A = this chain, B = another copy of it.
């Protein structure tokens, strides 16, 4: 299954960005850091950019850095010998990549779109982590959020129908892209899907044909409109959310 990605291993060292001007400054693992702590991180950070489809790290291989997604989308996925693959994480800007304390990951990390990471060599980062509660507290919080997201995803994988899965995915992407601004009900929401049909299938535990058919069905019923292949317009977000199978009330996060 390790095929297809013939892209040359680009890793452009992007023009350095000063932390203060960083677009993910307020959400990433460094978001609680003060000026002094940021300067320390600044000294060990560097940027890497990957082309779409390029592999950032193979499962089990050594990963010498950890870091944050600055721009673009990446996926974490697991593949069985016979090629069945399941996406287990979708990394959007500000998400953290890598595991302090381990020098490898048990899943493949792949660039979905062109992506830029703010990287730290693992050892120096671990040292900084141990010395800076602002970082470790934030990392714990982010990891707990990832765990909650993984568990919501488990319900989708284990118990939802194909249609509910698609509606759930669109809802999740919309929520993350728009940071939950669709409180303005009645307004159409535009989702720029960062995923191919195949990637959506790997996310949802479906085949790409089923994804395509369900999207067609939602379109036929007027719940969504397509603008090109990848842009989806949701005229009535609550109506789409009704199709996810979730109850809209319980589980208030306080």
Contacts and interface: CB of A to CB of B under 8 A. Distances in A.
B144 A80 contact: no
Contact of A155 (B88, B104, B245): B88
Contacts of A59: 250-251
Interface stretch (A9-17, A20-28, A42-50, A146-154): A146-154
A81 B247 contact: yes
A169 B224 CA distance: 38
A54 interface: no
B153 A154 contact: yes
A125 to B, nearest CB: 13
Contact of A106 (B62, B137, B253): B253
A84 interface: yes
A227 interface: no
A101 B144 contact: yes
A178 interface: no
Nearest to A106: B251
Nearest to A154: B88
Interface in A64-118: 76, 78, 80-82, 84-86, 88-89, 99, 101-104, 106-107
A84 to B, nearest CB: 4
Interface in A214-254: 245-247, 250-254
Contact of A151 (B107, B155, B247, B254): B107
Given A136-B137, A140-B136, A85 B247 contact: no
Contacts of A247: 80-81
B147 A146 contact: yes
Interface string A110-151: 000000000000000000001001001101110110111011
Query: Lowest 3 A-B CB distances belong to which pairs?
Result: A158-B205, A88-B151, A157-B157
17 contacts: A59-B251, A60-B250, A62-B254, A86-B154, A88-B155, A104-B251, A104-B254, A106-B251, A143-B143, A143-B147, A147-B150, A150-B154, A157-B157, A157-B158, A158-B204, A158-B205, A159-B205
